[in-house]
Amino acid sequence: MIPRPELIRDLSASYVLTSNATVSGDLVDAVRAALFRLDPLPGDSGEIDVRRDPELGEEAYRLTVGSRGVEIVAGGRAGAFYAAQTLHQLLPGASYRFSAGASWQVPGVRIEDAPCFSWRGLHLDVARHFFPKREILRLIDLMAAHKLNRLHLHLVDDQGWRVESRAYPLLHEVASHRPRTATHYYREPESYDDLPHGGYYTLDDLSEMAAYARSRCVTIVPEIDVPGHASAILAAYPEFGATGERHDVLDRWGISPAILSPLPPTVKFLTTIFDELIGALGETPYVHIGGDEVVLDHWAASAEIAAYRESLGLATVNDLQAWFLRQLADALAERGARAVVWDEAFVSGGLRQDTIVMPWRGMNVGRRAAAAGHDVVATPLFPLYFDYSEASSADEPMAIGDGPTVADVAAFSPLPEDWTAEERARVLGVQAQLWTERVPDARTVDYRLWPRACALAEVAWAGAAAEDFDGRLAGHLGRLDALGVEYRPAAGPHPWQRRRPHRPGVVTVTDVMARLDGMTLDAESTRPSM
């Protein structure tokens, strides 16, 4: 994330970089995208020279600053982009503000760098609370500034559907909004705000978001979470459900028993949705299909589904869920995309071998997935669920429970020492999750993500946080200030960040993790875990 001292070799000369510096070389667009607040202009010659070295990895780079200017040598467009981000981080925080005609002294340095992991992700749940396109574009910019490169958008859940569908328009006309939202605390009497909530991205929005993300070396990973979490879908198209009954878009938190049917019409429906998504996003290497927290009771109770399961030679409804997810993964593979699932889908068995597993219930199940030959993205609830409060205090805004601090995130290792070399090689990277049941607006998104996401970026890029991380983070906060990020201060929230008070001690993340780890040992542990 922030240049680490062990990578930097000091050179005696420094260089003055102006806010209208010109750029030359064959990777100009990548440098321009990274330095957009400095507004570099194209030209035949200038202070920043960029060239390609095919022997470097796509995301690797060498950055040299001396008396004659700045030289960037990169393995590909992403490497040039990240070199320019590092160059920007060598400047004062004021350089992150638009300022025409300004100039800054750049220290003479030589830096050679490359990421430890190819998957450096953030997840945002836009189903529970919708965040409009402008917030997604802003988040992409913030991710790019931290060399994060996977934006996982949770586009559907019981509480809302967030994508236009021209083939199935009731999805965005009916399933994208709810009449009210739960406001009560966990396990306390129900209360609601009686305010309509909703929104969705048009296919044109998705196209723009994906193009904007690619320009900043970020890949959007869309998630259509099935077969559970289906209340919103079945509010629009109940015929794709296991019972045929219409559901309401859920106005409370938690999980409903609503589940899609595994029969062929549902597979056809979902492949049509995939075609619309991929058509809008463009080249889409990954599509997340969920597979988590599924209540299979309606499948077990349906004579039609039971007969279909038996015709396939499958013994249990868990086998049927595995079969269903594999059909979707096969359809995605035909479209050039790899399926991604939560760890319940792995525990049920039967996945395509190239399916990527996200072990949110802990790294023990992640290890089993890696040992079985699946690529893994480390996503454990502790310390990577940022919807949990950073402190056990009523001063914090309302959260599901007490959870990880910046220090906890910085201490996390996606490559546990007791894993074998083969298992470690299966870890693609690391990703933090922000579920939004209790994150109602963009200001709260800022508060929950930052600066914990700074620690995530350090771990994702370097493999581990260096001992001097705290000191570099303190300096980095000035950049967040300049970028207008309303992060959580180390001393606790500002008065205006307190919002509705947190209930400390009701849910403790360490207790939750112990229970979840035990559940992963049960092949039928698809039911809701909270």
Query: What type of residue sits at position 319?
Result: D
Q: Say which of 154, 229, 476, 502 is annotated catalytic.
A: 229
Q: Could you please report the per-residue DSSP string of 305-361?
A: HHHHHHHTT--SHHHHHHHHHHHHHHHHHHTT-EEEEEHHHHHH----TT-EEE-TT
**How far apart are the C-alpha atoms of 218 and 330, rounded to whole Å?**
25
Integer angstrom CA distances of residue 261 from 232, 235, 237, 246, 304: 14, 14, 11, 13, 10
CB crowding 461-482: b at 16 or more within 10 Å, else e: bbeebbeebeebbeebbebbeb
Q: What is the pTM of this model?
A: 0.94
Per the document, the length of the chain is 530
**Both structure tokens of 357:** 């597993």
3-state SS assignment for residue 110: strand
Which backbone phi and psi does 59 adopt, to 5 degrees?
-100, 5
Residue pLDDT tens, the chain, 530 long = 666 655 656 555 556 665 555 666 778 788 877 876 665 444 334 478 999 999 999 999 999 998 888 999 999 999 999 999 999 999 999 999 887 677 888 889 999 999 999 999 999 999 999 999 999 999 999 999 999 999 999 999 999 999 999 999 999 999 999 999 999 988 889 999 999 999 999 999 999 999 999 999 999 999 999 999 999 999 999 999 999 999 999 999 988 999 999 999 999 999 999 999 999 999 999 999 999 999 999 999 999 999 999 999 999 999 999 999 999 999 999 999 999 999 999 998 999 999 999 999 999 999 999 999 999 999 999 999 999 999 999 999 999 999 899 999 999 999 999 999 999 999 999 999 999 999 999 999 999 999 999 999 999 999 999 999 999 999 999 999 999 999 999 999 999 999 899 999 888 888 888 889 888 988 776 666 54
Integer angstrom CA distances of residue 422 from 196, 369, 375, 430: 50, 12, 11, 17
- 229 is a catalytic site residue: yes
Peptide bond preceding 451 in cis form (omega within 30 of 0): yes
**How far apart are the C-alpha atoms of 143 and 123, rounded to whole Å?**
11
- 293 is a catalytic site residue: yes
Neighbours of 403 (CB within 10 A): 25
Q: Say which of 113, 276, 293, 458 is annotated catalytic.
A: 293
**How far apart are the C-alpha atoms of 209 and 214, rounded to whole Å?**
9
Q: Say which of 47, 157, 276, 423 is annotated catalytic.
A: 157
